[in-house]
Structures are given as C-alpha cells and as structure tokens.
C-alpha cells in the first residue's frame, strides 16, 4: 500500500460516508412524513382491533417501530463500505482505513505495529 493509495482510499471513503449520511437523513425524514400521515388511520385501526388500553399502549409504541429497523441498513452499508474501500495492512491484512491519519503519520499499522506503507 502506498501513501497516495491510502490517502485516495481515505478521501473516497469519507465521500462515500457523507453520501450515506445524506441519503440516510432523507430516508429518516421520509419515514417521519409517512408516520405523521398515518397516525390517525393507525389509531383508528388499533381501536377497532384491540381494547382501548391495549390500543393506547400500541399507539404509543408504533411510531418508534420503523426506527428500530434503521441499524440494519446502516450495518449493511458499513459492511459494504468496508469491502469497497479496503486499505489492508501488508502484514496482518486488516484494513487500516479507520486509522488512516495515524498510519500516514507513523507509517505503522495500528493493529500489528509493522510497516503499513511499503513503498513511496
């Protein structure tokens, strides 16, 4: 791995994470809008199917349920990002991208301590 290769991978990785953050924020905003639009029909459906106290509890819980799913796409994107932007240490093979500043300063792998930048 060269110094320039690591810098380029770090910049590409940062741009990718920014795009993911923007798309993720738009996704959450979309969820919120859909949720607000469906609150009244949801409450009516719950009251029609459950007793009033149960419907009240479910109505309190329901709006948070879509947000419980958010970690799943985030995990998937993180794994995809790790596969796409790899900067492996030549000795131990672990990606040093997360600690790229340290690697550029010291030329050392943060995991095994051997030289991570092999050529200039």
List contacts with Zn ion (CB under 5 A).
Answer: 89, 91-92, 109, 111-112
Q: For Zn ion, which is the closer residue by CB, 12 or 112?
A: 112
Asked if 115 and 96 touch (Cβ cutoff 8 Å), the reply is no
Q: How far is the CB of 14 from Zn ion (least distance, A)?
A: 22
Q: How far is the CB of 1 from Zn ion (least distance, A)?
A: 10
Q: For Zn ion, which is the closer residue by CB, 91 or 107?
A: 91
Q: For Zn ion, which is the closer residue by CB, 5 or 73?
A: 5
Q: How far is the CB of 67 from Zn ion (least distance, A)?
A: 37
SS3 of the chain? CEHHHHHHHHHHHHHHHHHHHHHHHHHHHHHHHHHHHCHHHHHHHHHHHCCHHHHHHHHHHHHHHHHHHCHHHHHHHHHHHHHHCCCECCCCCCECHHHHHHHHHHCECCCCCCECCCEC
Q: For Zn ion, which is the closer residue by CB, 98 or 112?
A: 112
Q: How far is the CB of 82 from Zn ion (least distance, A)?
A: 16
């Amino acid at each position: 791995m060269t110094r320039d290769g690591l810098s380029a991978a770090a910049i590409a990785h940062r741009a990718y994470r920014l795009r993911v953050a923007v798309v993720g924020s738009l996704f959450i905003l979309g969820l919120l809008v859909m949720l607000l639009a469906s609150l009244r029909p949801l409450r009516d459906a719950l009251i029609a199917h459950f007793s009033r106290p149960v419907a009240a509890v479910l109505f309190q819980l329901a709006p948070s349920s879509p947000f419980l799913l958010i970690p799943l796409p985030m995990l998937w994107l993180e794994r995809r990002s790790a596969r796409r932007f790899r900067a492996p240490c030549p000795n131990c093979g672990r990606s040093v991208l997360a600690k790229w500043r340290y690697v550029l300063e010291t030329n050392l792998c943060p995991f095994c301590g051997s030289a991570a930048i092999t050529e200039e």
